[in-house]
């Protein structure tokens, strides 16, 4: 199996597992216990908290451990709305946010009151800052244009009539992710934070996909609340974190009540193996992130070039940022992520022809079945284009040989689906003796435009993970 679905989850790094095993064997005491065994475990938890904080550009006391980013998002969103004043119950969310954030916002609004508005994104997936500004500062009814006018400034999101700031309608929270899980599109948190704070709102940033892949600094960028998960960065499932400063934490109310662990915000005996694993994963990511980014960007670029070589440039469309003046994947994206439309080939059908290559047609947390990706629809893609799109996300242990093999296998699958579609539509006659169309062999290299071995830009592709001797 060639695993190219690291944005869904990652394997546990062997060094992370080694760090966790003592917590399942000899260091099993409760960190809240006052005896030496408990305090020894508490010190391990403290170290993990420091390691996560360093990677997040935050202070250790700002890290609240949870069961994952989903719980962290629910804690942050419900906590903010539960204590928000009655005149500040509006929440703005990016159109391409993760389902965990979207569902948490909707549930919190239903419970505590308020309303949700969606912030548009550009066709490359980046947040539309002009639309965010318009939603944060709506035009008062007295100066608004008639509701029937197209693109009414009084209702820039197009979900109702004009509403003014005097109608208990101030914004409590803005939620915009740092990196999209499907397309890899990046948002700079700094302008979003500045606009939110200018309007008196808090800024929640889902850094789950960015964490450990690109630099993140909660403090320097003005993020009030950040959520992350260990299993996206070679740590264990079931562990995550809410990262929030003291003044913001004081405004939250807990979802889980009990013994008062995690500064009273998340009760329950700590998942010490998971937390220590999270800390180890953060330490490793801090040491390897720069080199991994170079290698993984080279691999996704290589994958794109190989697929173009097999299928032709007209058969592919990049979903997400592209280079200026070209159709190639752009630099302003997660280095490990590539989302492609294969024109004329249904993504589910292509996946059914890929038993040995793991890829994704959307978020692993989106239960829409055959429904097209909401992320791609929000970016302006048609339903057909969204249904013909696949996400490839490489990882720490992906090799160049695997990229070559995967490209050939995917190309074979795409050509097969396209040929079957053409036969089914009557565009080409069914052969007298049905057989496999002539497709590239998995071990071949593209014929047209390629000679010899294909390799990314020299100096950018360490073939294997960085030696662990580089770790602190």
Residues with a known catalytic role? 365
Report the distance separating Cα 401 and Cα 109, nearest Å: 49
């Amino acid at each position: 199996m060639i695993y190219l679905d690291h944005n869904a989850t990652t394997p546990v790094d062997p060094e992370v597992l080694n760090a966790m095993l003592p917590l399942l064997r000899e260091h099993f005491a409760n960190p809240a216990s006052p005896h030496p065994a408990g305090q020894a475990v508490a010190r391990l938890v403290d170290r993990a908290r420091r390691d996560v904080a360093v990677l997040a550009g935050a202070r250790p006391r700002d890290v609240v451990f949870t069961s994952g980013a989903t719980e962290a998002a629910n804690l942050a969103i419900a906590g903010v709305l539960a204590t928000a004043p009655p005149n500040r119950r509006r929440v703005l969310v990016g159109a391409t946010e993760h389902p965990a954030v979207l569902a948490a916002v909707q549930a919190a609004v239903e419970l505590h009151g308020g309303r949700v508005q969606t912030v548009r994104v550009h066709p490359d997936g980046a947040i539309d800052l002009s639309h965010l500004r318009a939603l944060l500062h709506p035009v008062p009814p007295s100066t608004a244009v008639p509701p029937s006018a197209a693109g009414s400034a009084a209702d820039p999101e197009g979900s109702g009539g004009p509403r003014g700031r005097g109608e208990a309608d101030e914004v409590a929270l803005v939620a915009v992710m740092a990196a999209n899980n499907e397309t890899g599109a990046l948002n700079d948190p700094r302008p979003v934070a500045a606009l939110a704070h200018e309007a008196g709102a808090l800024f929640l940033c889902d850094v789950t996909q960015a964490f450990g892949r690109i630099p993140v600094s909660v403090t320097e960028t003005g993020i009030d609340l950040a959520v992350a998960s260990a299993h996206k960065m070679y740590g264990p499932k079931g562990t995550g974190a809410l990262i929030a400063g003291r003044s913001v934490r004081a405004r939250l109310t807990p979802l889980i009540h009990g013994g008062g662990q995690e500064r009273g915000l998340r009760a329950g005996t700590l998942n010490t193996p998971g937390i220590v694993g999270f800390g180890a994963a953060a330490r490793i990511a801090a040491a390897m992130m720069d080199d991994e980014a170079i290698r993984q960007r080279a691999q996704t670029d290589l994958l794109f070039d190989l697929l173009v070589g097999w299928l032709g440039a007209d058969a592919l469309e990049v979903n997400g940022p592209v280079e200026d003046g070209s159709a190639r994947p752009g630099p302003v994206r997660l280095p490990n992520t590539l989302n492609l439309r294969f024109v004329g080939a249904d993504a589910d059908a292509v996946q059914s022809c890929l038993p040995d290559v793991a890829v994704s047609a959307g978020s692993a947390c989106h239960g829409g079945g055959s429904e097209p990706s909401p992320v791609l629809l929000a970016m302006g893609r048609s339903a057909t284009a969204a249904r013909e799109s696949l996400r490839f996300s490489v990882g720490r242990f992906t090799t160049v040989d695997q990229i070559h093999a995967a490209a050939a296998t995917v190309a074979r699958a795409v050509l097969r689906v396209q040929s079957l579609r053409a036969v089914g539509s009557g565009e080409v006659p069914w052969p007298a003796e049905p057989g496999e169309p002539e497709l590239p062999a998995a071990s071949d290299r593209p014929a047209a435009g390629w000679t010899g071995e294909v390799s990314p830009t020299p100096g950018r592709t360490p073939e294997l993970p960085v030696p662990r001797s580089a770790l602190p």
